Each structure stands twice: as C-alpha cells, then as structure tokens.
Amino acid sequence: MGSFLLDKGRGKSRPTFFKLAPCGGAESVAAEARLLQHKLSHIKVFPPVLSGNRSLLVTQKVGDGDGPPISLAHYLGHDSKKVVAALPGVVEEVARQVAKLGDHSPDQWPVSGLLWPNHDLARLESQWQRWRGPEQVQALGKTFDAIETFKKLAKCSVLLRVGIQTALHGDLNPTNVALDVGNGAAHGYIFDASGMARGLSLRDLAMLEVTSLLHLPAGIIADIIDPCAALYGNGEVLVEEAFPAALAGRPLTTWALIAEIRRLAMKCPDATKKAYAVTVFDLAMIQLGGLAFAVSRNKTRDPEQAAELAARVSHWISLVCPEFVSA
C-alpha cells in the first residue's frame, strides 16, 4: 500500500494498492480488475503497467475512509465481542456485492457437475495420506473418509435444481475482503477477483466459509477446525444453535462468520442446503489438493487442518444428503 504524490505540491492521493507481479498472466489479472470495476462502484483501477518481465496493477483503496484497510482474515482476530456484533452487516455487504457480479437464472445440474472439473484423484489421495486423513477415519468413523465420499459424489447423477450466476468472484477468501473500520462501524468490500466465470450463485460464499477456516494470517497458528466441528455435525446448513460456551477468540469469530455466511447463502436464488453442502465439500477438497504445491499450499497454514476439514465435511455430506453417497 501507498499513495501517489500529486504534482504542484498538492499532497498525497488516497491510499492505493500497488500489486507487483510477473508479466505472465498480467493481462488477464488486469482484465478481471477492470470487469470488477464495471460491476462494483468501490473498485477503481489505474491503467496497468508492463515492463520487462514485471507488471504493476494499481487500484485505489476500497471504502470511504482514508485510513489503512484491514483484511477480514486479520479482523477475525480482533476483540471478539466487537467482531461478532459487526459480522452480520459485513457479510451482508459482501453477499450483496457478490450478487451484483452477474445475472441469475435457475438450472438443473447433476451432483457430479457441482464438483470442480480439474480435481486430480491421485493428488487428493496423496495429500489425504500425507496429512493423516486415514487417522481421522480410524478415530471418527467411515463417513469421515473424504476420498470415498469424493469418489461417490463424482459418480452421482442425481439432478439438483440450482441457481446459476453468470459471473462469480472466483477467489473469495478472507484476504480478499477489505474492511473499512472506524467510528464504531465496519464495512466490507470485496476485491481481487480471479476468473469471474459462470457458476453456482452460492459458490463464492461457500468458498469464504472454507477459506476462513484454513487461510490464517502469517504467524498465526490456531486450531479452528476442532472448535467449529459442530457446524458439520448435523444435517442442517443454517446455524440455529447458540455459540458453544467454550468458544473464544478466533474460533468464536469464525463460527459467527460461518453462521452469517450460511444465512446469506440460503437466500441466494434457488439455493438448497444440499447444493451448499456439496459445494463446501468440493472447495474443501480443492484446499486439500492444493497442499501438493508446497510453496504456498493454497494459503493453508496447517495442512493437517485441511485434511481434518475434508473429513468433517465428508461426514456432513452423509447427514445433509445421504442419498448422494449411499453404496
């Protein structure tokens, strides 16, 4: 982050994001930023610069304030009471912005069609073994076997009525939600889209659920999955029960965030709890497969938690839509 110095001694510009990256893929990144600008009033993109083997994408800070923004990933670690009180408004703003990215229409898709087409079963099995997935099954039961659940869903031809959106954000993780915090209020703004392809209208929100559990800020190692396990322990999607009394800190704020995400996801056009559960499972498996890329591990801080999440959501599938995975 930084600012431009304006000529003739007119001071600094508003805070601005400067994204320095390799030239490879820079044109598509800039195109997605411009498309986002056409959809959302808070996105302002300067003409990209390409020079040698580097690219520079410059976008103005989102929000009305001139102070530095904070990512949702960091905000979840702030004072729990204040964060929990602010999250309903923040998530509603995020959901409203996501809905503006494309037009909506109903459709029918087979369950297998809800899964990402580029999954590599061998890679999934390798990471499942490496990060103690089989131990989860041994300790918790056969419905926690994410690999077996994946195989069954990949073959499931049951048709589901789903809501389709012509363009999605594509990478809605908590680092791509900027918060403008001030005067006792917090406002959320999405940015840095990736792909913006057609897909399920609830997919971006499901992605935010999964990544909020796994994509922790640098330097923070916390067990989020186990404290939030009850979210995947019954056949419901909407979170009706109160927070467990033992929850505190980031696990508490993450629980509250997921409760709000699911509430708004179920308001998406033609949303169903079965489609949402399968999508959460699919995204958890994408995170599991991403562990094979050792440099970033898809932003997952603790690989074993990625395997545990896949196991928990596998069990959730057996409760929300058992007919999809019956032998």
CA nearest 258: which of 316, 298, 299, 301?
A: 316
Residue reference for tokens 């431009």: 4
Q: Determine the average pLDDT of the residues in 288-302.
A: 81
CA nearest 237: which of 276, 185, 194?
A: 276
pLDDT at res. 220: 80
| 3 state SS of 263 | helix
d(CA 142, CA 257): 29
Q: Are 201 and 163 in contact (CB under 8 A)?
A: yes
d(CA 300, CA 211): 8
Residue reference for tokens 């559990």: 213
pLDDT at res. 296: 61
Ranking 14-28, 124-138, 258-272 by mean pLDDT, the lowest is: 14-28
Residue 298: pLDDT band by 50, 70, 90 thresholds?
low
Residue 181: pLDDT band by 50, 70, 90 thresholds?
confident
Q: Which helix (H) or strand (E) holds 133?
A: helix 133-140
Using the predicted structure, report yes or no on whether residue 295 has a pLDDT greater than 70: no
Residue 183: pLDDT band by 50, 70, 90 thresholds?
confident
| 70-324 CATH fold | Aminoglycoside 3'-phosphotransferase; Chain: A, domain 2 (3.90.1200)
Ranking 1-10, 107-116, 254-263, 302-311 by mean pLDDT, the lowest is: 1-10
pLDDT at res. 74: 95
Using the predicted structure, report yes or no on whether residue 266 has a pLDDT greater than 80: yes
Strand partners, 200: 164
| 3 state SS of 237 | coil
CA nearest 289: which of 124, 166, 44, 136?
A: 124
Pairwise pLDDT comparison (89 vs 67), residue with the higher score: 89
d(CA 2, CA 24): 24
Span(s) in the chain for CATH 3.90.1200: 70-324
pLDDT at res. 294: 66
Alpha-carbon dihedral of residues 116, 117, 122, 127, nearest 10 degrees?
-20
CA nearest 20: which of 52, 44, 43?
A: 52
pLDDT at res. 297: 65
Phi and psi at residue 293, to the nearest 5°: -95, 95
**Integer-rounded Cα radius of gyration of the chain:** 20
| 7-60 CATH fold | Phosphorylase Kinase; domain 1 (3.30.200)
d(CA 35, CA 85): 32
Using the predicted structure, report yes or no on whether residue 95 has a pLDDT greater than 80: yes
pLDDT at res. 30: 83
Looking at mean pLDDT, say which of 56-70, 177-191, 231-245, 248-262 comes out highest.
248-262
Cα angle 322, 325, 327; round to 5: 110
Q: Are 15 and 1 in contact (CB under 8 A)?
A: yes
pLDDT at res. 33: 84
Q: Are 15 and 66 in contact (CB under 8 A)?
A: yes
Span(s) in the chain for CATH 3.30.200: 7-60
Residue 43: pLDDT band by 50, 70, 90 thresholds?
confident
Q: Determine the average pLDDT of the residues in 58-80.
A: 85
d(CA 202, CA 268): 6
pLDDT digits (tens, 9 = 90+) for 195-247: 899 999 999 999 999 999 999 888 787 889 999 999 999 999 999 988 888 99
Q: Determine the average pLDDT of the residues in 1-14.
A: 90
Residues 6+ apart with CB under 8 A from 226: 308
Q: Are 253 and 281 in contact (CB under 8 A)?
A: no
Q: Determine the average pLDDT of the residues in 141-152.
A: 98
Q: 142: which DSSP letter?
A: G
Pairwise pLDDT comparison (184 vs 109), residue with the higher score: 109
Q: Determine the average pLDDT of the residues in 46-65.
A: 84
